[in-house]
A and B are shown apart, each in its own frame.
Chain A
Amino acid sequence: MDFRLDEDIEFLKSNIRKFVEEEVEKVAMQIEKEDRVPERIIQLSKEMGLFGLSIPEEYGGLGIGMVGKCALYEELGKTHNGFTTLIGAHTGIGTVGIVEMGNDEQKEKYLPAMAAGEKIGAFALTEPAAGSNASNLKTTAAKKGDKYILNGTKHYITNATEADVFTVMAVTDPSKGAKGITSFIVEKGFPGFHLGAVEEKMGLKGSHSAELIFEDCEVPEENVLGELGKGYVNALKILANGRAGLAARNLGSCQKLLDMSLAYVEDRVQFGVPIIEHQAVAHMVAEMAVEIEALRSFTYRVAWMVEEGKKVIKEAAMLKLYGSEVYNRVADKALQVHGGLGYISDYPIERFYRDARITRIYEGTSEIQKNIIAGQLRKEYNQ
């Protein structure tokens, strides 16, 4: 058993760390206040190839495995989560569908521009009546000649305002339930595609979620992604694949919170001593560190399983659940040890605290993860 990262990955990681510290951290407050990632940061991210993190080398991406990706996501997780989400939702659920299920023509058409960050990707499953119950979709896709005509509304779509290419799930055969759902590649310029209301959110500033409205939206037949009727399975696969990366981002945020907390409790003096010498504070820091270390081991173990081609439905759900819950507990403790300062908006702790909250909800709520885990356990028991 070897817990070391490849030298190449360490090298990539140190370069991302440098970029994050020198560029993104400097504008984190600005992103928060303006709810926008500055153009310079987007431009530098493109030049660095961050948008191609999960795209194969032959299509202009980085072409590294899941362990490597997680190591890089961990670094990105240390900075503003809105920026990280902009990159992560693109490289994760926004492009994975085309990478995993696309045919050669689709890959050649879309991936090089997506790897370069010229086209941003997004994933559109959620609807007003279909959140956790993802198979209850109302958006329909009816075949008409060599096109599919989409009608319906998607909401809470991450990156919607920035995205050019959407992986959209729609019902092609209402009589078949979950087996009547198909995935499509939809470009924002297709006739009948409209961007709806942009949501005001509690956190993740700089990353925008919005409504998509399809009004007789014309999608060419060749943009069916994967097989007809496999849309629901595709969606679950795309989400499962994204889970290790998501946990790695949470891990990075947790580490950053621990680092900031350590610096603060060593520096802050109350009752004549640095507050880490008060046992109640010391224990909070220790508890944070233990959970972070456990999350780190678990993240890289699942990433390794993905690389080995093992089935990870149960483990990925466990990791999504654990990573999100740990992030929330760590953010809560970090805020507590910082006291009043933690609650002040000029300091980053409260931002992480708000950003942490969505991780228990998006890409499958904590409760849905528990259902998946229990379902898998029953399946294993009854086999």
Chain B
Amino acid sequence: MNIYVIMKRTFDTEEKIVIENGQISDEGVEFIINPYDEYAIEEAIRLRDDNGGEVTVVSIGDEEVEKELRTALAMGADKAVLINNEDIEDSDQFTTASLLAAYFEDKEYDLILGGNVSNDNSTGQVGPRLAEQLDIPYVTTITKFELDGEKVTIERDVEGDVEVIETSLPLLVTAQQGLNDPRYPSLPGIMKAKKKPLEEIDYDDLDIDEDEIEAKTETVEIFLPPKKEAGKILEGELDEQVQELVKLLRQEAKVI
């Protein structure tokens, strides 16, 4: 079974967002594998262990991404691929999906897994866009994956309810929290991961034209949400408090 995982390197969930010159600063920031992609990697490894085959983790970015790819290899993936996009200026989810589609063009794949969303931009678009471009079925926000021959039974999270879907390979799925409990890479596994193949591809090597993958969206402005202000505590007799509250709701909050 040929299993691929598409993975993104993102800010550590704990990091504070700092804006400098209208851009999000990544100075001194700790990076991680996008947590939803971690579920995808874990699921891929388990499926490989049960059904045989190979797990390849693919990411797009600069050389820094090697660290997260090595982590995926240390968890148990067999191969890693880095598509270097340093030379691409304007990039969005369309660009990412198009680069991946170009990469997958000559690949044999049974299953592609990804995260439901990334914890930074949270658009949830790359997986579905890639499946559309490859013309294969896709299921998002999955919480259970069962393979029986060619038949795949999936449970997916739909706003708290569960939807059960039957489909077949080849297929693309995106992982939701609850799919599994990702393993910590073992320390000997980390040392062994150094010897596993990590291929770096420049986007020029893919059969693609930069104009064709130009971003379809434009970022106009980046700003932090307004600071939460302290609440107001009303005082005095209950009647007075109610009157004051109604007045504030009308005049200040303008909600009634």
Interface residues of A (CB under 8 A from B): 8, 11-12, 15-16, 18-19, 44, 47-50, 52-53, 57, 60-64, 72
CB distance from B103 to the nearest CB of A (A): 26
CB neighbours (8 Å) of A8 from chain B are: 190-191, 194
* Residues B186 and A12 in contact, CB atoms below 8 Å apart: no
CB distance from A5 to the nearest CB of B (A): 14
* Residues B67 and A11 in contact, CB atoms below 8 Å apart: yes
Chosen A-B contacts, 9 in total, with CB atoms closer than 8 Å, are: A8-B191, A12-B187, A15-B74, A15-B187, A15-B190, A47-B183, A49-B188, A62-B188, A64-B191
CB distance from A64 to the nearest CB of B (A): 8
Known contacts A15-B184, A50-B187; 6 additional CB pairs below 8 A are: A11-B190, A16-B187, A49-B186, A49-B188, A61-B188, A62-B187
* Residues A48 and B67 in contact, CB atoms below 8 Å apart: no
Cα A12 to Cα B191 with chains together (Å) = 8
CB distance from B106 to the nearest CB of A (A): 32
Cα A61 to Cα B188 with chains together (Å) = 7
Interface residues of B (CB under 8 A from A): 67, 70-71, 74, 183-191, 194
CB neighbours (8 Å) of B187 from chain A are: 12, 15-16, 48-50, 52-53, 62, 72
Cα A5 to Cα B3 with chains together (Å) = 35
* Residues A18 and B184 in contact, CB atoms below 8 Å apart: yes
Q: Is the interface of B mostly helix, strand, loop or mixed?
A: helix
CB neighbours (8 Å) of A57 from chain B are: 188, 191
Cα A61 to Cα B191 with chains together (Å) = 11
CB distance from A66 to the nearest CB of B (A): 16
Cα A156 to Cα B240 with chains together (Å) = 69
Q: Which residue on A lies nearest to B74, using beta carbons?
A: A15
Per CB-CB distance, the 9 closest pairs between chain A and chain B, nearest first, are A49-B187, A49-B186, A49-B188, A62-B187, A19-B184, A48-B184, A48-B186, A12-B187, A12-B190
CB distance from A11 to the nearest CB of B (A): 6
Q: Which residue on A lies nearest to B189, using beta carbons?
A: A49
CB distance from A263 to the nearest CB of B (A): 13
CB distance from B198 to the nearest CB of A (A): 13
Cα A11 to Cα B194 with chains together (Å) = 11
A62 and B184 contact, Cβ closer than 8 Å, known pairs A11-B67, A11-B70: no
A44 and B184 contact, Cβ closer than 8 Å, known pairs A11-B67, A11-B70: yes
CB neighbours (8 Å) of B185 from chain A are: 15, 48
> In the complex, which of the residues A19, A48, A52, A60 has the most CB atoms of chain B within 10 Å of its own CB atom?
A48
CB distance from B35 to the nearest CB of A (A): 11
CB neighbours (8 Å) of B194 from chain A are: 8
Q: Which residue on A lies nearest to B14, using beta carbons?
A: A21
* Residues A52 and B184 in contact, CB atoms below 8 Å apart: no
CB distance from B204 to the nearest CB of A (A): 28
* Residues A62 and B191 in contact, CB atoms below 8 Å apart: yes
> In the complex, which of the residues B67, B71, B188, B194 has the most CB atoms of chain A within 10 Å of its own CB atom?
B188
Cα A64 to Cα B74 with chains together (Å) = 17
CB neighbours (8 Å) of A63 from chain B are: 191
Cα A18 to Cα B30 with chains together (Å) = 11
Cα A47 to Cα B188 with chains together (Å) = 10
Cα A8 to Cα B187 with chains together (Å) = 10
Cα A18 to Cα B70 with chains together (Å) = 15
Cα A50 to Cα B185 with chains together (Å) = 11
CB distance from B14 to the nearest CB of A (A): 9
CB neighbours (8 Å) of A52 from chain B are: 187-188
Cα A7 to Cα B190 with chains together (Å) = 12
CB distance from B187 to the nearest CB of A (A): 4
CB neighbours (8 Å) of A49 from chain B are: 186-189
Cα A11 to Cα B67 with chains together (Å) = 8
Cα A57 to Cα B187 with chains together (Å) = 11
CB distance from B6 to the nearest CB of A (A): 22
CB neighbours (8 Å) of B67 from chain A are: 11
CB neighbours (8 Å) of A53 from chain B are: 187
Cα A44 to Cα B182 with chains together (Å) = 11
CB neighbours (8 Å) of B188 from chain A are: 49, 52, 57, 60-62
CB neighbours (8 Å) of A50 from chain B are: 187
Cα A159 to Cα B28 with chains together (Å) = 40
> In the complex, which of the residues A18, A19, A64, A72 has the most CB atoms of chain B within 10 Å of its own CB atom?
A18
Cα A53 to Cα B187 with chains together (Å) = 8
Cα A316 to Cα B184 with chains together (Å) = 33
> In the complex, which of the residues B67, B183, B185, B187 has the most CB atoms of chain A within 10 Å of its own CB atom?
B187
CB distance from A186 to the nearest CB of B (A): 28
Cα A22 to Cα B164 with chains together (Å) = 32
CB distance from B130 to the nearest CB of A (A): 28
CB neighbours (8 Å) of B190 from chain A are: 8, 11-12, 15
Q: Which residue on A lies nearest to B185, using beta carbons?
A: A15
* Residues A47 and B184 in contact, CB atoms below 8 Å apart: yes
CB neighbours (8 Å) of B186 from chain A are: 47-49
CB neighbours (8 Å) of A64 from chain B are: 191
CB distance from B57 to the nearest CB of A (A): 16
Cα A16 to Cα B191 with chains together (Å) = 14
CB distance from B158 to the nearest CB of A (A): 28
Cα A18 to Cα B190 with chains together (Å) = 14
Cα A194 to Cα B59 with chains together (Å) = 56
Cα A53 to Cα B191 with chains together (Å) = 12
> In the complex, which of the residues B74, B190, B194 has the most CB atoms of chain A within 10 Å of its own CB atom?
B190
Q: Which residue on A lies nearest to B67, using beta carbons?
A: A11
> In the complex, which of the residues A44, A62, A64, A72 has the most CB atoms of chain B within 10 Å of its own CB atom?
A62
Cα A45 to Cα B72 with chains together (Å) = 19
Cα A11 to Cα B70 with chains together (Å) = 9
Cα A15 to Cα B71 with chains together (Å) = 9
Cα A311 to Cα B74 with chains together (Å) = 36
CB neighbours (8 Å) of B74 from chain A are: 15
